[in-house]
């Protein structure tokens, strides 16, 4: 059961984050048209990157959190995803990975926000997989945790 939970969380969060990245950079911003190298290389690197991010996200989710947070799987997913998003953006900023040639403070803040949203969505997916495998229907579990048993 643990391997199933980990593997599903890892793969589903990786796919979701990659999909959000493609939606943002490929469709909304059309950044992929500005690539100076073949798109196949970019997509291969992206798939590998998002598999690594999904793995890290799932491992962060499984870390020992304080009891108040550990008992709230959705909050744990939000914290795990947001912290990974911020860390990922800082690393990419430091090593110079960007689609923009001009890094204004507004662009940096906006890109940081998007990266955080993207990884937070992955964190939510990890938490939903863990909830559904442990407790059943995530909607009922979240409702019980928020509103109590009725």
In angstroms, the CA 84 to CA 17 distance is: 12
So what's the pLDDT on residue 3? Answer: 87
Comparing 139 with 121, the larger pLDDT belongs to 121
20 Cβ partners below 8 Å, 6+ apart? 117, 118, 121
pLDDT of residue 135: 67
Segment among 54-68, 96-110, 113-127 with least mean pLDDT:
96-110
Q: How far apart are CA 11 and CA 133, in angstroms?
A: 15
Q: Which has more pLDDT, 149 or 41?
A: 41
Kindly state the percentage of the chain with pLDDT values over 70: 85
Query: CA-CA distance, 54 to 126, in Å (whole number)?
Result: 9
Structural domain count, the chain: 1
Mean predicted lDDT score pLDDT of the chain = 87
Give me the sign of the Cα torsion angle 108, 21, 91, 102: negative
The mean per-residue pLDDT over the stretch 118-131 comes to 93
Q: Give the pLDDT mean for 83-90.
A: 96
pLDDT at 18 over 90: yes
CA 64 to chain centre: 19
pLDDT higher at 147 or 107: 107
Q: Which domain holds residue 32?
A: 2-147
Q: Is the pTM of this model over 0.75?
A: yes
User: How many angstroms separate the CA atoms of 140 and 93, rounded?
Assistant: 40
| 27-36 per-position pLDDT tens digit | 887 778 888 8
């Amino acid at each position: 059961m643990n391997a199933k939970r980990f593997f599903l969380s890892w793969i589903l969060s990786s796919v979701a984050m990659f999909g959000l990245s493609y939606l943002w950079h490929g469709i909304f911003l059309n950044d992929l048209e500005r690539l100076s190298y073949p798109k196949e290389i970019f997509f291969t690197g992206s798939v590998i990157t998002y598999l690594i991010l999904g793995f890290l996200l799932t491992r962060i989710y499984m870390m020992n959190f304080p009891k108040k947070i550990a008992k709230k799987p959705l909050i744990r997913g939000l914290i795990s995803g947001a912290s990974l998003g911020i860390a990922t953006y800082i690393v990419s900023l430091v090593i110079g990975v960007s689609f923009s040639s001009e890094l204004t403070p507004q662009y940096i803040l906006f890109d940081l926000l998007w990266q955080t949203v993207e990884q937070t969505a992955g964190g939510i997916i990890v938490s939903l997989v863990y909830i559904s495998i442990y407790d059943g229907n995530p909607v009922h579990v979240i409702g019980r945790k928020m509103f109590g048993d009725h």
